[in-house]
Amino acid sequence: MPTDVKLQVKPFTCDTCSIRHRAVCAHCDSHELTILEQMKFYRNFSAGQTVIWAGDEMDFVASVVEGVATLTQQLEDGRTQMVGLLLPSDFLGRPNRETASYTVTATTDLMLCCFRRKPFEKLLIETPRIASRLLEMTLDELDAAREWLLLLGRKSARERIASLLAILCRRDAARLGEPADGRRTINLPLTREAMADYLGLTLETVSRQMTALRKDGIIEPAGKRNIVIPSVARLVEASGDDVDGGPLI
């Protein structure tokens, strides 16, 4: 396991944790939370660091507290596809699996709330509220993966970019408890290369299509890593998705 940047000494309590009501612990009562509180430990990674390599032994599971991490898969010749984008409150790791199936990378500074895997597995059996929340989150992730399949299988480069930005809009709005419409400013925590790995494109194509969306007024650059969406409706329209019953997560 890679070395941590620094090991924080439980700077937070679950009560005041920013992901308390959305993470795997969301439905816990105060007693259950006490147990988690005793088990948890934080690990921090700086942008660019690898959290774990595919195939390595993985003796913990975790919730993303802050920052963004990616799961990636590779073919033998180096072709890379992102298969997971973990934002705050998302769950990392698989109970009852010894080794990591995917390479996990911090794309921004990252804080994880970790649990050793074995005790967590025991907790899953004893604490139905955690197990049922994990099932719910896994089903949500499966839905997200299926939206992603549609994106990779059938959407044009332009639609893919617009879809990714729309997803980030939606997640950001959900996190803040705001409606995902009108004018929004979002943080873009991915490089062109990471976006390309997400979208099944090359970084050149991503760059070109970002330029095109900018020229069409769908997006406006706002500093180094921020983007203004003047009209979320127009962005969603450009994504090719149905405007109403939009995708989940």
The binding site for DNA (CB under 7 A) comprises 48, 156-158, 191-193, 200-208, 210-211, 224
Tokens of 156: 């044009």
Cα dihedral 29, 34, 36, 40 sign = positive
**Which neighbouring-strand residues pair with 229?**
184
Q: Which of 101, 191, 207, 231 binds its own copies (CB under 8 A)?
A: 101
Q: Which of 75, 177, 215, 223 binds its own copies (CB under 8 A)?
A: 75
Residue 39's closest CA among 64, 15, 7, 14?
Answer: 14
Q: Which of 94, 192, 208, 234 binds its own copies (CB under 8 A)?
A: 94
* Residue 221 CA: distances (Å) to CA of 207, 214, 216: 13, 8, 12
Should residue 83 be labelled a site residue for its own copies when binding is judged by CB under 8 A?
yes
Q: Would you list the DSSP string of 40-73?
A: -EEEEE-TT-EEE-TTSB--EEEEEEES-EEEEE
Say which entry of its own copies, DNA, none residue 218 contacts (CB below 5 to 8 A, set by partner kind). Answer: none
Length of the chain: 249
Q: Quick one: 181 or 193, whose CB is closer to DNA?
A: 193
Tokens of 155: 């959407």
Should residue 150 be labelled a site residue for its own copies when binding is judged by CB under 8 A?
yes
Q: Which of 200, 208, 220, 249 binds its own copies (CB under 8 A)?
A: 200
Should residue 15 be labelled a site residue for its own copies when binding is judged by CB under 8 A?
no
Say which entry of its own copies, DNA, none residue 128 contacts (CB below 5 to 8 A, set by partner kind). Answer: its own copies
Count CA atoms within 13 Å of residue 25 on its CB side.
Answer: 29
Q: CA-to-CA distance for 73 and 81, rounded, in angstroms? A: 5
Should residue 29 be labelled a site residue for its own copies when binding is judged by CB under 8 A?
no
Should residue 16 be labelled a site residue for its own copies when binding is judged by CB under 8 A?
no
Q: Quick one: 153 or 177, whose CB is closer to its own copies?
A: 153
Interaction site with its own copies (CB under 8 A): 55, 71, 73, 75-77, 79-84, 94, 96, 101-102, 124-125, 128, 131-132, 134-136, 138-139, 141-143, 145-150, 152-155, 199-200, 240-242, 245, 248
